[in-house]
Amino acid sequence: MNSSSSSPDPTLVERVRKLLDKAARTDNEHEAELFERKAAELVARHRIDPERIADRSLPDDLALLEVEVGRGAYVRGRLDLLHNIADSQDVRMVFRSTPRGSVATLAGRRDDLDVVEVMYTSLHQQVAGKMAELRGPTGASTQRQRRAFLFGFATRVGELLAETRARVESGAARSDATGTTALVLRERKGRVDEFARESWGRVRSASAPSAVSPDGFARGFAAAEGADLGRRRLGVRRGLGAGG
């Protein structure tokens, strides 16, 4: 991964990394869920920290981050996982093909980019380990099952992250009679969207992914419950469509 960010909040990033590392190391799914839930809620609460919300003079510190996702049968699934994590942090993403494989470019606030990078690295390692355990009667069937599993996992991770964020922000909104928190979050999102448009220029939609095995997708979707995190301009870029 090639990052232009400089870890403006190393304490947050390090705490998230440590929690996800603990989740990856344990064989107990309940412990993994606890660590990952804590990581997701830590990130969600950082976004609405009262001091950060109150200080409207804080710079957006917008930047771009490139993430190499490789090539092969699982690339679009990896992009789907990265996109879902990025979307939960109001980070925008496009991708392009290069001689070394597909490269995703993320646009957002530097601390959000750091969090996305840490979470993607950890979750990709976790799902890769689960995919390696899948075996079909033939090499082709094994690949189909693993690809579908990855899409299912990515889909559920996206839902869980969105649920965590919505719950935390809803609680904050109920205790904020002035509506300042919601206003600041909307303004931040708008500035990221504008920055992404200015940075990328013309973007075309990616083609839809080929169909995946329903059984493999369902198994990956269910496996993401064990990774419970708390209940998308360099020339013409391709935007990430539905899946990959």
Using alpha carbons only, what angle is made at residue 105 by residues 40 and 97, rounded to the nearest 5 degrees?
A: 130
Residues 126, 104: Cα–Cα separation, whole Å: 20
Residues 229, 158: Cα–Cα separation, whole Å: 9
Which residues contact residue 60 at a Cβ distance below 8 angstroms, ignoring those fewer than 6 apart? Answer: 109, 188, 191, 192, 195
60-74, 95-109, 161-175: segment of lowest average pLDDT: 161-175
The mean pLDDT of 197-211, rounded to a whole number, is: 80
Look at residue 231 and tell me whether its pLDDT is greater than 60: no
Q: pLDDT digits over 141-183, tens only?
A: 999 999 999 999 999 888 888 888 888 777 777 766 677 767 7
Look at residue 106 and tell me whether its pLDDT is greater than 90: yes
Predicted pLDDT of residue 145:
92
Residues 8, 177: Cα–Cα separation, whole Å: 30
Predicted pLDDT of residue 93:
95
What rounded mean pLDDT belongs to the chain? 77
Predicted pLDDT of residue 189:
87
Look at residue 235 and tell me whether its pLDDT is greater than 50: no
Look at residue 69 and tell me whether its pLDDT is greater than 80: yes
96, 226 Cβ separation under 8 angstroms:
no
Look at residue 236 and tell me whether its pLDDT is greater than 60: no
